[in-house]
Structure 1
């Protein structure tokens, strides 16, 4: 193993390993069971009607392949940085740089989207101001240490699961539920199902957060491969129950036109009292996702800064809290600016393209593992890579164009950096 892929226990720049299996699963759940389930169902229904359910299955299948590839790689390379490290170690510097670039840029946009979701649910008239305040507050939580972040995320997950369970129970037991609505719009074409899968994949994408915390997990070779599929499986069960509920209560047409589908489901089921609870739950869910996103982006920023793909000053680790404090502050500052200025829908599409590109590199890296290194079955990285590319290019054209342009800019930055380094050695 390349020495850069691991950090010695006595190294003053090493992060503290104190996250167990339950902490890792909780962080994964907090990243996945967030604002995505409150926001992604309506556009998915618009794309595919009730065929969003096959889209959900497709998104989950791609996510499973990505999760398996990421878990095997994380067990082999338990260092902060996720696919940035895996791509660098298995495919070469360029692919690691491109994966890290896609993750940092795409997930920074996703941070802004989650912050704006907090504002939209908590105080719609001042969404941008609330979004900035949320970014500042959660950056401070992360700065105080990842263990505190895991405890906070555990509370967030409990609240969100309780809200989603209430919607499912109320919806399915109400007189408004009609199973015949599951057949409405089920004849959507393959393109519609793909687009729905791409939109719903956004809600699954948080499982890699466990892998990016590899340097802070106890016994990563055992913990990470168990935590990733466990968190993903729980999330899929929750999403399937919620998707079926909103479809049988609202129907595909009303779901597609809804801006707050879970709150509308509660109202249609005759539980008006539940609607404000759902609104509060959505805000809490977005906070949980934002916390985990900032955590993951800052760790990848740390790894890239260690290798000078980003400014070296960002590689500093706080002497007391043992967290990458400069990276966290830099990420928080950029996200705060974006949250004050950008549109949430554009941020989500842009983020999805970057995340799928990131996982495509992860699957390519997993293909190179040997059986002795814990290689997954060959079909896993093949399906994962093909699925990532398929879903990425099924996104709206504006997302594809802007995402491809940003990846090209990242590749150009790598080339310029290499040329300057070569000139400096002359």
Structure 2
């Protein structure tokens, strides 16, 4: 039996163990990305898709290791916002938090609309709003409830992906020669594919942003993050290999719904509706984890008055940042009801890479007595993040850089205003 929480009224309860943290990480990573990211990555890299996946995994591993060591050192809500503030200075922490909150709020709305488009295409906006309201309610009554729901979601998605891989590889329609790894790949194409695929790995940050709600964080977080990442990599690699062997790089690059088209090509048409359900459930899991992460970073920034201080309130009964969760839910619901942002969040990939670049720079400053990883890990992570960020399509780079510039300008204005009084 776990010990009763000793959290003060302004702190969150530590209720999550290793398995809970791993499941939340899996729910964040094994989401809608695997159903949609393979085609644009194949268009960029061709037969170098698997090389791009491997490169994305290496950068993700470095980021995960840096994040885990920092989270064990600073087990508070906010993730890289906290690490950047503590290790690099207030501005860098703020910039990481700004990028995360702005980019991921748009991602929340996009994911909600993705659920709506799968469940009821004619009423995607209405379904999206209903989903946001329902998940905000789940989060409001406690993080443990969110972890339980995420377990069910992860189980469904993993079962669907396993069915897809088994159906394809046992169909007799596969051709290992289709893999032909790297035959037509270019360095730029592999880098761009890695940048696109990296976004699908980025969910392990959710474990770190929930640091204030994890039991024994110095032990739990460094175990949970690599476990979640390793399982996700194995799943992604299996799916990518199966789809490539039946569609080939060209067929995958032109696929609108890659997994659905792959099972059709394998003669398993009965699986198509199952894949659609899996994609909807995966998007639901990603949305749940995104709302959790954004609300916790909002809480941390509100505590430091970078956002309205009232958002730092913690519910006396449920021990969750209820005002931050409601505020995030309202903003996401409004976006989901009024705009189709699915095609307008290219800056999210750029922003997530900038976020982890700050995490790696923060980890570089850790001392040997602070659990510092081998210096090569944050160095490779930092260089990898910057390389992948600027290898993204130009529109993503421009929009991502614009978000960073606006954040820096807001920070500068806020610093100047008090001096006038």
Q: TM-score normalized by structure 1?
A: 0.96
Q: Cα deviation per residue 1:132-162 (whole Å; 9 max; x = unaligned)?
A: 2211111111111100000000000000000
Find the aligned partners of 1:177 and 1:143 in 2 and give their Cα distance. 47
Find the aligned partners of 1:359 and 1:185 in 2 and give their Cα distance. 28
Matching residue of 1:232 = 229
Residue from 190, 200, 204 that aligns with 2:197: 200
Matching residue of 1:346 = 344
CA-CA distance at 1:125 after TM superposition: 2.5
Range with bigger deviation, 215-224 or 329-338: 329-338
Matching residue of 1:141 = 138
Show structure 1 runs of 5+ residues with no match.
1-7
Residue from 295, 300, 309 that aligns with 2:297: 300
Find the aligned partners of 1:71 and 1:113 in 2 and give their Cα distance. 28
Find the aligned partners of 1:218 and 1:23 in 2 and give their Cα distance. 10
**Contact 1:49–1:188 (Cα < 8 Å) also in 2:** yes
**Contact 2:299–2:311 (Cα < 8 Å) also in 1:** yes
**Contact 2:112–2:132 (Cα < 8 Å) also in 1:** yes
CA-CA distance at 1:189 after TM superposition: 0.7
SS at match of 2:215: coil
Residue from 207, 219, 222 that aligns with 1:222: 219
SS at match of 1:183: coil
Find the aligned partners of 1:132 and 1:47 in 2 and give their Cα distance. 33
CA-CA distance at 1:376 after TM superposition: 0.5
Find the aligned partners of 1:38 and 1:415 in 2 and give their Cα distance. 40
SS at match of 1:376: coil
**Contact 1:115–1:339 (Cα < 8 Å) also in 2:** yes
Residue from 392, 396, 406 that aligns with 1:395: 392
**Contact 2:47–2:181 (Cα < 8 Å) also in 1:** yes
Matching residue of 1:61 = 58
**Contact 1:356–1:389 (Cα < 8 Å) also in 2:** yes
Find the aligned partners of 2:289 and 2:299 in 1 and give their Cα distance. 15
SS at match of 2:11: coil
SS at match of 1:388: helix
Matching residue of 1:3 = none
**Contact 1:170–1:271 (Cα < 8 Å) also in 2:** yes
Find the aligned partners of 2:380 and 2:418 in 1 and give their Cα distance. 37
Q: Cα deviation per residue 1:62-112 (whole Å; 9 max; x = unaligned)?
A: 100000000000000000000000000000000010010011111112112
CA-CA distance at 1:185 after TM superposition: 6.8
Runs of 4+ residues deviating >4 angstroms? none
Find the aligned partners of 2:116 and 2:254 in 1 and give their Cα distance. 21
Q: Cα deviation per residue 1:305-339 (whole Å; 9 max; x = unaligned)?
A: 00000111111111111111111111111112222
Alignment partner of 1:121 is 2:118:
yes
Matching residue of 1:261 = 258
CA-CA distance at 1:224 after TM superposition: 0.2
Find the aligned partners of 1:244 and 1:9 in 2 and give their Cα distance. 48
SS at match of 2:391: coil
Alignment partner of 1:386 is 2:383:
yes
**Contact 2:51–2:182 (Cα < 8 Å) also in 1:** no
SS at match of 2:300: helix
Q: TM-score normalized by structure 2?
A: 0.97
CA-CA distance at 1:126 after TM superposition: 2.3
Residue from 304, 308, 311 that aligns with 1:311: 308
Find the aligned partners of 2:194 and 2:129 in 1 and give their Cα distance. 30
Matching residue of 2:79 = 82
Matching residue of 1:4 = none
> CA 1:325–1:10 in 2, change beyond 3 Å: closer, same or farther?
closer
CA-CA distance at 1:10 after TM superposition: 4.5
> CA 1:184–1:56 in 2, change beyond 3 Å: closer, same or farther?
closer
**Contact 1:249–1:269 (Cα < 8 Å) also in 2:** yes
Q: Cα deviation per residue 1:272-319 (whole Å; 9 max; x = unaligned)?
A: 111100100110010001000000000000000000001111111111
Find the aligned partners of 1:346 and 1:145 in 2 and give their Cα distance. 32
